[in-house]
Amino acid sequence: MRICIPIEFRPHGGGHYFLQALSAYLADQGWTVTRRVESHYDILFTNHWMVSRSHILRAIRHNPRGRIVQRIDGAAQDYGRYGDADHRQRQVNLLADLTIFQSHYCRYSTREKFAVIVHDGPVIHNPVDVELFRPEGQRLSFPESVRVACVAWSTNPRKGAASIYDVARCNPRVGFVLCGRYPDAPGLPNIHRLSVLCREELATALRSCHVLLTFSQNEACPNHVLEALASGLPVLYHDSGAMSEVIGDCGLPVTVENFAAQLEQVMDLWAELSLQARQRALTHFHPQQVFPRYVDAMRAALQRPTTVPLARRLWLAWSEPVRSRNRRLATALQRRLGQTVATIGPHWPRRDP
């Protein structure tokens, strides 16, 4: 089997690590994995809005019968991200033969809450590297007897950093280990900023704590939560998005006001909850559980006709770039004409009435 994933890997963000892990798994299964859309392949795999519609059409021109698989991360506007990201992923989804959602909440948010995604499809949760993120291994030392981990790559206000700072101020005997980007963290003695970490360093930091705390909103299937579960950490979470779907009985919902009580309840049952968290990661999010479902779904898509009939697919692939170029040319000419008129307008000879 041959698959094209035309996305350059970058060492940050859950989507990139997912694609890296998927590529490695497929290669181990004997699949040929390429990034070149000009190559010959059976499946073109794209991640939400990371590959443009024009790039997809270019791929169709080279492989008109290839199936297009789109993995959906969620609605951009649900994360507080505005712009054309949702429009871009919708335009790609119109061409998709298989749409995969990261969670049931992800499907709801993109098909009902914001009506971004047109096609329905299976829900397949994200995997987690259970060999890297595990309870056993090297640990860091911190002065507090109870330590809470917080993880964020983005500084988006919906990640909940302000709530973490409020909780830290009210609970000076609890250590807060901040992993990632927290540029405005207050200089409190119980806040330990570790900045952006590589994955090995993050695994060490997580297993050095007792609990993961996240106030992040509207997450589709948060990787930092999966990594915490695999590390044996129960989770205190803001109850929104797919948090309860992913965490199950391995944590409790939390607010700034009830944090101390919820943390105490988790710590009273910590040994039991830690084992449950690790077992949940092994049972639900192990790569050997997740990636075979991707393979099955993609093989099934190859047995079905393309969503867009082949003739129309080819017409779109060849005609849209021409129309797009003509629109750009017309816009450029209109702009140039407007500049010319503005320049010579005052000097244009007038005819007396």
**Site of tokens 């589709």:** 220
Question: What Rg value do the Cα atoms of the chain yield, rounded?
Answer: 25
The candidate with the shortest Cα–Cα distance to 49, out of 81, 17, 27, 21, is 81
SS3 content of the chain, % helix, strand, coil (to 5): 45, 15, 40
Distance CA 92, CA 279 (A): 37
Contact 214, 242 (CB under 8 A): no
Q: Which fold has domain 2-127+289-315?
A: Rossmann fold (3.40.50)
Q: Which amino acid is at 245?
A: E
Parts of the chain with a pLDDT under 50 = 337, 340-341, 344-345, 347-353
Query: What pLDDT does residue 348 have?
Result: 44
Take residue 92 and report the two structure tokens written for it. 């790609």
pLDDT per residue as tens digits for the range 237-260:
999 999 999 999 999 999 999 999
Domain ranges of the chain: 2-127+289-315, 146-285
Distant-in-sequence contacts of 117-125, Cβ < 8 A, 24+ apart: 117/72, 117/89, 117/90, 117/93, 118/90, 118/93, 118/94, 119/93, 119/307, 121/297, 122/293, 122/297, 124/100, 124/290, 124/293, 124/294, 124/297, 125/221, 125/246, 125/284, 125/285, 125/290
Q: Which amino acid is at 148?
A: V
pLDDT per residue as tens digits for the range 24-38:
999 999 999 999 999
Contact 143, 173 (CB under 8 A): no
Query: What pLDDT does residue 353 have?
Result: 41
Residue 265's contacts (CB-CB under 8 Å, 6 or more residues apart) are 252
Query: What pLDDT does residue 25 have?
Result: 96
Name the CATH superfamily housing domain 146-285: Glycogen Phosphorylase B; (3.40.50.2000)
Query: What pLDDT does residue 336 have?
Result: 60
- The DSSP bridge partners found for residue 252 are 236
Query: What pLDDT does residue 10 have?
Result: 74
Q: Where are the beta strands (DSSP E) in 123-186?
A: 146-152, 174-180
Distance CA 70, CA 46 (A): 5
Please indicate whether the domains covering 2-127+289-315 and 146-285 agree at the CATH topology level.
Answer: yes
